[in-house]
Structure formats: C-alpha cells, structure tokens
C-alpha cells in the first residue's frame, strides 16, 4: 500500500489510500468459528489471577455495580473465593488483575467478564490472519454479564463449561468450522440487526449445528438439554456476531494513516474507541446513559451508564447502523416508526467510508450497511455513531431493565483526531 504513494503525498491522500485498504479488509475478512476452548488455553494474558472485562481499562475502585457483581461471580466460579464477601475482599485488596477484553483479542457483552476456566468461542480470521474470542451467551434472566452471581448462575456456568462447550466444540469441528459472515449476511435479510435482535441468526446457527450435535451419540437427556438451551436463547448469536465483528475489525486495525474506528466499547463508566492508524491507544469519555424504553417497574434512575463490548457490531456497520434491516426492533429501542429506522441507517452513511459488499439490507434494495466509521466525518458533521443497546440495572444482578439507543460521545472522536493530527503534524 505504502508503495502506491510517494513520501511527499499530502496527508489527505495517504488517509484515502489507508481507508480504502481498511474498507477492503473489512469487506474481505472471513471470520470462521473453529471451536470452543477454555479461555486460559486461548488467551496468554489469562495466566494467574487475571480477569478480562468489557470496555477500555478501568481501575478497580471505579468499577460499576454490575461489573463488580460479575467479577465476584467469576471469582467464585474459579474457586478463588468461597463467598461473595471473600471475593469482594480479594478484589479490593488487589489480589486480582483486570485487563480489557479488546487488549486480548476478545469481546464480551455487558460486563463481559472472562475468567480462565470459561469456554470461549474461537474465531479464526482466515483472509488476513488473526484470532478473536468471546464467551458463550448465558441466556436471559439472572446472568453473570448483568452482575448476577448466585448459585444458579455459577451452576449454569459450570454446565456450560462441562456439557455445552465440549458438545459445541465437537460439533463445530465436525462441520470443519463454521464461516460466520455468510450466516450473518443471511440473518440481515431476516430482520436481525444483530445487536438487539439475533433471533434469525440464532435460528440459522441452530440449524447448522444441531445435526452435527446429534451425530455425537450424546445421551438423549444431555442432547435435548443442549438443544433446549439454544432454542430458548434468542440472543445466543449476539456473542458470535460480536466475535465475528471483532475478527473483521481487527483485520482493519493497525493501518498507518487510517482514520477508521476499529473498536467502540464501554465498561459501564467510560466509553472508549480505538482507531486503525493510532495503534492500541484508547480514547475515552464518560459512558453515556442510553435513551430508550424501560421494562415495567423501572426508570432511568435505575440505569447503569452504557456497558459492554457489543458496540463492536456497530463498529462493523451492524446493530444501530443496520436499523433499516430490522424494523421489528424500532419499537423495542423506542423509535416511532420504521421510516425512522431507515433514516438512522442513512445518517450513518454520512460518517462511514463505504457500504458493505456482503451485509446488505433487502428493504433498501440490497444496499450494503454503512461500514467503516471515519472519525474525521464524525467530528466534522457532528453526527455520533448510534448504538442499539440493552439497559442494565446499576445494581449488580438485577439484569436488563430496558433497551434503547446510545449516541457515542463526540468527545472521543475529537480526542482521537487531535492525536492523529499531532502524530502527523
């Protein structure tokens, strides 16, 4: 790429070339689910008493309620603490090291806690090289990602580790790996935007994996338990959409002079982005409060600031960016009409470098989703990326209390642009 320009080419031309390369990589990256592995085998960072979490790095004393609850659960799950009180003490006394998922090629929804024993989806990006990881979706109700950490949560995590993960791993390997992009492209033609709505993608994944699961001669009870868990979890694919998006956006990361945003993420306190041409530095601002609809009995007073690595799907051009593909989501996130959903997708076209060549929206006559956020356009037009999001209760373990949209804070794009300017001054 560098060869195509002389050293004296103006910066704008270099950026154009770099962003064209970023778009090419986004359009050609091929994430393939290759198996399910214990986190400690997949991620070298997970040696010793280390946990990974969603969003940019966060000091222990600033952890939000749900993330703290999830950490307590993970410490009990790992057997590093016997009780919640022991776990809190261990955490506060500095006995645990925290690290950002994104820094370990991983992503997780909401609190996004990954501990060494957890099984992770392993995704190989076969076009440009690279690996990405995500935990398996736990279903709904009281779940670790919202900070629940009681016995039922830990028991489910152990079942996922001992029963679900080995079966899924064997089935995926029997399939010779499962390419995720074609499945996602198809789900986008079935009303999923793959953040708030994954029912089509989950169903397609289910159909792909069930015959291979059945070939394994599991006991009927174990097999039907696995199939029932998958069938009951409409958002099961969210974690796969996230890890596929992470693998794709990592392929576009690290291109000198590229102004494309390669990660947007939140830890419940701070909202951070990374930019392709600016390495692994996070640009952060306070995490915004989602605007949306609350489930009965809850109000904005109960809400935690936005949280989770799930905005990686918007970074790719799905989720809020693909709102026009998912008119059934509009009511859920508080939009007044399907026309509004189309308007949001069109407005995201203003801040992206192109359209996806494979993720297409039938209702827009198969226009590709807006893909590759250009931080320059965000700053110049003051149009913030829109993220579809679940709203978590600020108290650990209560769970999801609503859904809505969040506008990424413009401040982080301004910071990144300033840093870019300084680097190339």
Tell me if 419 contacts its own copies by CB under 8 A. no
Which positions ≥6 away from 93 have C-beta within 8 Å? none
Whether residue 32 contacts residue 178, with contact meaning beta carbons closer than 8 Å, is answered with yes
Which of 18, 184, 212, 392 touches its own copies (CB under 8 A)?
212
412 binds its own copies per the rule CB under 8 A: no
Q: How far apart are CA 289 and CA 407, in angstroms?
A: 9
Contact predicate 218/172, CB 8 Å = no
DSSP 127-173: TT--EEEEEPP--SSS-GGGT--SHHHHHHHHHIIIIIHHHHHHHHH
424 binds its own copies (CB under 8 A): no
Regarding 158 and contact with its own copies (CB under 8 A), the answer is: no
313 and 194 Cβ atoms separated by less than 8 Å: yes
Based on the shown chain and the rule CB under 8 A, indicate whether residue 163 belongs to the binding site for its own copies: no
Q: How far is the CB of 421 from its own copies (least distance, A)?
A: 42
Q: Which residues contact 181 (CB under 8 A, 6 or more apart)?
A: 29, 30, 31, 244, 248, 358, 359
For its own copies, give the closer residue by CB, 234 or 374: 234
Sketch the per residue contact string, 314 through 333, with its own copies: x for CB under 8 A, - otherwise.
------------xxx-xx--
Q: Is 423 in the site for its own copies (CB under 8 A)?
A: no
Distance CA 219, CA 141 (A): 27
Q: CA 352, CA 348: separation in Å to the nearest integer?
A: 7
Triad 111, 117, 121: Cα angle to 5°: 70
Smallest separation, CB 109 to its own copies (Å): 21
Indicate which single residue of 206, 291, 400, 410 sits in contact with its own copies (rule: CB under 8 A): 206
Q: Is 375 in the site for its own copies (CB under 8 A)?
A: no
Q: Out of 1, 127, 154, 210, name the contact with its own copies by CB under 8 A.
A: 210
Interface with its own copies, residue 199, by CB under 8 A? yes
Indicate if the alpha-carbon torsion angle 127, 129, 133, 136 is positive or negative: positive
Shortest CB 360 distance to its own copies, Å: 9
Size of the site for its own copies (CB under 8 A): 39
In the list 191, 288, 334, 343, the residue contacting its own copies (rule: CB under 8 A) is: 191
Does residue 140 bind its own copies (CB under 8 A)? Answer: no
Helical H segments across 233-351, by residue range: 238-251, 312-316, 329-332, 338-349
Q: Is residue 338 near its own copies by the rule CB under 8 A?
A: yes
Reference 73, options 396, 375, 332; nearest CA is 396
CB of 400 to its own copies, least distance (A): 20
Using the rule CB under 8 A, give the single segment among 13-21, 312-320, 360-368, 406-414 that binds its own copies. 360-368
Nearer to its own copies, 190 or 383 (CB): 190
For residues 253 and 132, the answer to whether their CB atoms sit within 8 Å is no
* Closer residue to its own copies in complex, CB, 217/299: 217
148 vs 76: CA distance, rounded Å: 12
Give residues in contact with its own copies (CB under 8 A): 186, 189-192, 199-200, 203-204, 206-208, 210-212, 214-217, 220-221, 223-224, 227-228, 230-231, 326-328, 330-331, 337-338, 362-366
């Amino acid at each position: 790429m560098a060869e195509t320009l002389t050293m004296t080419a103006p910066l704008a031309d270099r950026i154009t070339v770099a962003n064209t390369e970023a778009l090419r990589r986004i359009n050609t990256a091929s994430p393939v689910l290759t198996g399910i592995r214990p986190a400690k085998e997949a991620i070298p960072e997970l040696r010793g008493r280390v946990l990974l979490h969603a969003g940019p790095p966060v000091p222990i004393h600033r952890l939000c309620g749900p993330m703290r609850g999830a950490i307590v659960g993970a410490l009990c799950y790992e057997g590093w603490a016997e009780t919640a009180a022991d776990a809190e003490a261990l955490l506060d006394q500095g006995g645990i090291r925290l690290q950002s998922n994104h820094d370990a090629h991983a992503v997780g929804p909401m609190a996004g806690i990954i501990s060494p024993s957890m099984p992770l989806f392993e995704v190989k990006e076969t076009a440009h090289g690279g690996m990405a990881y995500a935990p398996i979706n736990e279903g709904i109700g009281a779940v670790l990602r919202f900070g629940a950490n009681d016995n039922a949560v830990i028991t489910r995590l152990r079942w996922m580790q001992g029963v679900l993960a080995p079966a899924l791993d064997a089935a995926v390997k029997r399939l010779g790996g499962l390419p995720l992009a074609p499945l996602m492209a198809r789900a986008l033609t079935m009303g999923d935007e793959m953040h708030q709505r994954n029912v089509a993608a989950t169903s397609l994944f289910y159909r792909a994996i069930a015959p291979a699961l059945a070939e394994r001669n599991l006991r009927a009870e174990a097999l039907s338990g696995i199939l029932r868990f998958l069938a009951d979890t409409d958002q099961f694919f969210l974690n796969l959409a996230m890890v596929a998006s992470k693998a794709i956006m990592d392929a576009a990361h690290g291109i000198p002079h590229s102004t494309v945003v390669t990660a947007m993420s939140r830890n419940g306190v701070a909202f951070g982005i990374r930019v392709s041409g600016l390495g692994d530095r996070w640009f952060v601002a306070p995490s915004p409060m989602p605007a949306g609809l609350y489930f009965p009995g809850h109000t904005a007073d109960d809400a935690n600031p936005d949280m989770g690595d799930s905005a990686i799907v918007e970074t790719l051009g799905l989720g809020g960016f693909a709102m026009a593909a998912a008119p059934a989501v509009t009511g859920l996130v508080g939009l007044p009409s399907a026309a509004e959903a189309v308007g949001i997708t069109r407005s995201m076209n203003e801040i992206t470098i192109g359209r996806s060549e494979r993720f297409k929206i039938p209702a827009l006559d198969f226009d590709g989703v807006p893909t590759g956020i250009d931080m320059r356009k965000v700053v110049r037009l003051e149009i913030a990326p829109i993220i579809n999001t679940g709203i978590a209760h600020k108290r650990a373990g209560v769970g999801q209390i609503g859904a809505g949209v969040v506008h990424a804070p413009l401040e982080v794009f301004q910071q990144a642009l300033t840093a870019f300017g300084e680097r190339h001054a």
